Amino acid sequence: MIKIFNSLFVTMLGLGKIKYIPGTIGSFVTIIILYYLFHIINLSPNIFLFFLILIFIYSFYAVSSHIENNENKDPGEIIIDEFIGQSIPIYLYEISHGTEKTQNEAIIFYGICFILFRYFDIMKPFPVSFFDKNFKNSFGVIMDDVCAGFYVVLSLICFMILKSYIL
């Protein structure tokens, strides 16, 4: 029973088993889920952070269990790491503004986060590549996406700094 639960967990209820671009689909579904949570039902960022931390911690066990007897230690069907990595810049965006965000502003920002996250997740600049190549276990599976998420944050901070000097 726990194997089935872990499989559903790491594949985001089977979404990762889609034949083509499961990581991109998982990232896209993540931004839809987060938009719904933050802008439709107005979930508190603190509650979301609590659950994100739980998901992050449990992911190490679930991914490890899922790849236990698998030759491929980072199968494409595992997309919970995309959920975690994509959530980082969006969560930080949601807590970084003290003002009310318009829906259009949020949609544009979520779209930018999606594109940047997929870019960093696919291109794997250092240290994303370091975790991907050197850790063939649940740690590597998860941490490369966490690093990609932080690259998105860093890119957006750099953009905001440059924008403040230009405008």
Q: What are phi and psi of 106, to 5 degrees?
A: -65, -45
Of 104, 82, 68, nearest in space to 26 by CA: 82
If one compares 132 and 16, the residue with the highest pLDDT of the two is 16
Model pLDDT for residues 148-164, shown as the tens digit of each residue: 999 999 999 999 899 88
Model pLDDT for residues 16-65, shown as the tens digit of each residue: 999 999 999 999 999 999 999 999 999 999 999 999 999 999 999 999 99
Give the mean pLDDT of 122-134. 88
> Tell me, what's the pLDDT at 73?
65
pTM: 0.91
> Tell me, what's the pLDDT at 15?
93
Give the mean pLDDT of 133-154. 92
**Which domain range does residue 162 map to?**
2-166
The count of residues in the chain is: 167
Model pLDDT for residues 68-81, shown as the tens digit of each residue: 877 776 788 999 99
Give how many domains the chain has, as a whole number. Answer: 1
* 86 neighbors 25 (Cβ within 8 angstroms): no
* 86 neighbors 32 (Cβ within 8 angstroms): no
> Tell me, what's the pLDDT at 89?
96
Model pLDDT for residues 90-121, shown as the tens digit of each residue: 999 999 866 677 788 899 999 999 999 999 99
Exposure string (b/e) for 110-147, b if CB count within 10 Å is 16 or more?
bebbbebbbebbeebeebbeebbeebeebebbbbbbbb
> Tell me, what's the pLDDT at 68?
85
